[in-house]
Amino acid sequence: MTDTIHHHLTDPLLMAYSAGTLPEAFSMVVAAHVSMCDECRARLGSFDAIGGSLIDGAETVAMADDSLGATLARIEAGATAEPPAPRKRRRGVLPGPVQDYVGGNLDAVKWRPVGMGVKQAILPTSRDASARLLYIPAGAAVPDHGHNGTELTLVLQGAFEDESDRFGVGDVEVADDSMEHTPVADIGQDCICLAATDAPLRFRGLLPRLAQPFLRI
């Protein structure tokens, strides 16, 4: 799959994910893309290595006097801690980090129609940004919209095209507030995307704008 990915995560996104400063919804898109893309996995490894070098070369703050003993006592008390479950590659359209939020694969998604055959499912994350799955029927368009903040869109099935390019499975589109676009799903297969944004989308037509509070997008 990796060979067919043409649109990757940006350096600032990978760096912020490594530093742990991204909103949860954006972290979900990064984790999902990295699950699908070996190139970005390797780049993320480099950013983690920068974090490691910084912490190794950083200043220090003295630990409390009994700190080592207290930590060893803590280890003994928690010696039976469950080993974490390995995050194994999972089958299906949804990457593992998304399945964790859905509670299963596609058949577990609780879709809600948003008009013209488009459906969405909002995923529960912290409120500084929102994440949702979008279902766009083959050949259908998502209403023309611009952005107040940053929007990340990761294709999980099918493909879409907008004014800038074509995006297939694994591709991620990074849109900022200068972009107005009308994504259209490819004919041939319904398109499923994971989208995250840190601001409400603004639609250009009057009706979609009125509808916005209902749709929560």
Residue 26 Cβ vs another protein, minimum distance, rounded to whole Å: 10
The sign of the dihedral angle between the CA atoms of 96, 104, 189, 216 is: negative
214: tokens are 């209902």
Residue 102 Cβ vs another protein, minimum distance, rounded to whole Å: 12
Residue 189 Cβ vs another protein, minimum distance, rounded to whole Å: 23
Binding site for another protein (CB under 8 A): 11-12, 15-16, 18-21, 23-24, 27-28, 30-32, 34-35, 41, 44-45, 48-64, 67-68, 70-72, 74-75, 78-79, 81, 83-84, 86-90, 95-97, 100-101, 125-126
Nearer to another protein, 50 or 116 (CB): 50
Report the phi/psi class of residue 20: left, alpha or beta, with left for phi > 0 and alpha for psi in -120 to 50: left
Nearer to another protein, 81 or 206 (CB): 81
Query: 133, 123 in Cβ contact below 8 A?
Result: yes
Residue 10 Cβ vs another protein, minimum distance, rounded to whole Å: 10
Residue 183 Cβ vs another protein, minimum distance, rounded to whole Å: 23
Q: Count Cα neighbours of 3 within 13 Å in the Cβ-side half-sphere.
A: 0
141: DSSP letter:
B
Nearer to another protein, 192 or 196 (CB): 196
Nearer to another protein, 48 or 144 (CB): 48
50: tokens are 């920068």
Task: Sheet containing 202-203: give its strands across.
Answer: 180-181, 145-146, 202-203
Nearer to another protein, 67 or 164 (CB): 67
Most distant pair of Cα atoms in the chain: their distance: 67
What is the rounded CA–CA span in Å between residue 183 and residue 24?
A: 24
